[in-house]
Structure 1
């Protein structure tokens, strides 16, 4: 009992110290760096699979003896992967908003990361197995892995957006920046040792305990108040995923004189490298420039819908499809410029929308607003991927 009393007294003293003191500065931007790394981690599974398209399509599935099924798996791999990834992603993002899946936010994130690590090990083991005579089994094991991976990833991503929503808005921009520079290794940094993070966490818990109970959260009121920014988040990612990577990676060079001769390298440069680089630069720009404001952001977001027909009128040649529409954009440089603009606006406007969303509600409800934004982000991705299934039929 005496030990319990001492521990309780110590916790109360620490809590009072951190809550009555002035908010400490994020010295050397350590907390910002941590959220950038979390942003990298949330989209790492997605980016690793989509950038390995050639490995799955040309090597693991394209070289199988079972040509009929292998051809189907190879031709639609990114669509199948998108479907397998985003259905559980959407479902568990929304479930995580309303239900406590695995405890508080930090516990949910820790468990999710452990599940992802285990599945990454399985993915590496699968790469070592000769699947040339069992392409069907390899394909479906991969898809099951993707489903479970994105169930865990959804909880992780949604929890991050909920946690960062109570921080100054540039930290939300840090998560988005991390998402767009995904590909770097996540470093292990101890969060509890940073007093800035401890202060924010204790302040958030105090507000939660004193003002808000889970059963009393006005979900509809929060959603309605933040609806314009939530629509912005949805639309940005819908347009982006409607064309990237499924449509984007099936656009071929129009001119034999273009300086990138190799078809595989053409896709790597004009699709994946271009998108990841300029989406990152767009996110980075949002640190210094926040224009337009929250009221008028909806205008350029809606105008981004023009990218869908622009991509379809490029030299888009999906596998096993005879194109009927004429190719209007025959200049590879113009196509590349369109890709740069799409990627840059995706990174820039998504960062702005995610920054603005928590600012539309009262401080007590910023966590839920951030989680709603995360769920709308994934919903936009999912709907964009569903739309990409229609793209071959539209041309």
Structure 2
């Protein structure tokens, strides 16, 4: 058992518990976005007017109405994420982090539960659409507060834990993609499949909350969470990576002031990383999924493959390679945070926009990369670079500030991450018209 004095001198060893919890916390933050995005087919089918739910004064049982679910879902997901992430950048100064995180997780659990219950409730399309859009707005509002708060917490740990957190976020996409594939291949009745689909994030959210409450009770986590009270540490060289040692040395020299810097002062130190993470996600969301879901297989005569092509080659390939990219910085980090090549690598991802638009997109007039293999290769590089560069941005940013400002830096980086998502989602409307 580590006594208080020894705890202040030598970091305890993480035997994997904290790493696993950080990974699970990352997974929990992106469940809302991924599960609503991949359930597009379910929501669009519920919103189709059928003879059963047409009002008595309707003139035709075949009346249909285009609710444009996907566009509204993207808009009403990114707006609250942007607004509440910005609010959280200041909220952390007045509301304790534990209250923000626990309250947000409970709210997300209740909203997922409501969505699961509505699977069995027959509703008019207009009513169902309004309830669903309200749910999406509120669940992403709480998700923004949760994500910003947890990024701030993770920023208190060594840089490799930011990479683990980002990897967990990547796994959320894989969960949703596999759930969608199971739904497509399942022989179960549609409402039963949908109910199981939405129960999954309910259980996962409860598990995430349990992991968060367990975190402060682990010696390794408690050491870093309490560093703001005691920063005098003696480091055992064999317990820390070279990156961690540099970080701790920097912290020893920087702890002259016991007060946190202002948000503006922190931003001035991390503005380049903030710009880079915004660019990474703006490029990604401008074509994924609005363009990528429209890419078709050249083997249309193969009914089974044609049925799962989009799920496998778009969602699963993207999320798997994104997770690989998010995990890669734990093996090696290049370019370094001070290298001029880093922003060059970020902005070079613009090349993926025309590359994906030139794939076998439905109704496209110009197709150069028609084969399925070409699309998979481009998607793999596209998603890997997204995860890798985003993970580097989030782990580099806290290294530019004092230890006491790491939470502020993490929260600000989350805001710019969401800003990139919002910019990309907005730009996707234009690209969708151009293809």
Normalising to structure 2: TM-score of the pair?
0.79
Q: Which residue of 1 aligns with 2:360?
A: 315
- 1:320 corresponding residue in structure 2: none
* Aligned position for 2:12: 24
- Equivalence for 1:369: 409
Deviations 1:254-297, CA, capped at 9 Å, x for gaps: 4436x675444111011111111111111122210111212222
Q: Quote the residue 1:221 is aligned against.
A: 265
Equivalent residue, structure 1, for 2:189: none
Deviation at 1:20, TM superposition (A): 2.9
- The 3 A distance-change label for structure 1 pair 139 and 69 is farther
Aligned residues: 367
Mapping 1:205-354, distance limit 5 Å: 205=229, 211-213=257-259, 217-256=261-300, 261-294=304-337, 295=339, 296-317=341-362, 323=363, 325-354=365-394
Matching of residues 1-395 of structure 1 within 5 Å? 17=5, 20-26=8-14, 28-57=15-44, 59-62=45-48, 64=50, 71-73=65-67, 76-100=68-92, 103-131=95-123, 134-182=124-172, 183=175, 185=204, 187=207, 188-189=210-211, 190-205=214-229, 211-213=257-259, 217-256=261-300, 261-294=304-337, 295=339, 296-317=341-362, 323=363, 325-395=365-435
What is the RMSD of the two structures over their aligned residues, measured on CA atoms?
A: 2.5
Cα drift, residue 96 of structure 1? 0.6
- 1:68/1:339 CA distance change after superposition, 3 Å: farther
Distance 2:63 2:432 in 1: 19
SS of residue in 2 equivalent to 1:103: coil
Uncovered stretches (5+) of structure 1, i.e. residues with no partner: 1-13, 318-322
Tell whether the 8 Å contact from 2:81 to 2:140 is kept in structure 1 after alignment: yes
Q: Structure 1 residue 18: deviation in Å?
A: 6.4
Distance in 2, Cα, partners of 1:260 & 1:160: 44
Q: 1:350 to 1:324 in 2, by over 3 A?
A: closer
Distance 1:15 1:155, change over 3 A: farther
- Whole-angstrom distance in 1 between the partners of 2:291 and 2:307: 15
Aligned equivalents of 1:69, 1:30: Cα separation in 2: 55
